[in-house]
Amino acid sequence: MNKIIIMFLSLLTFFIITSCKNVENTKLISKDKMVSILLEMHLKEESIMLLKLPNDTSDVFFSEIESEVFDKFMVDEELYRKSYSYYFFRPEELESIYVKVIDSLSLYQQLKE
CA 100/CA 75 separation, integer angstroms: 20
Domain ranges of the chain: 27-112
- Binned at pLDDT 50, 70 and 90, residue 50 comes out as confident
CA 17/CA 1 separation, integer angstroms: 24
Torsion (CA) 22, 27, 30, 33 in degrees, nearest 10: -150
pLDDT digits (tens, 9 = 90+) for 57-108: 888 888 888 999 999 999 999 999 999 999 999 999 999 999 999 999 888 8
CA 83/CA 75 separation, integer angstroms: 11
Model confidence pTM above 0.85? no
Query: What average pLDDT does the structure give for the chain?
Result: 81
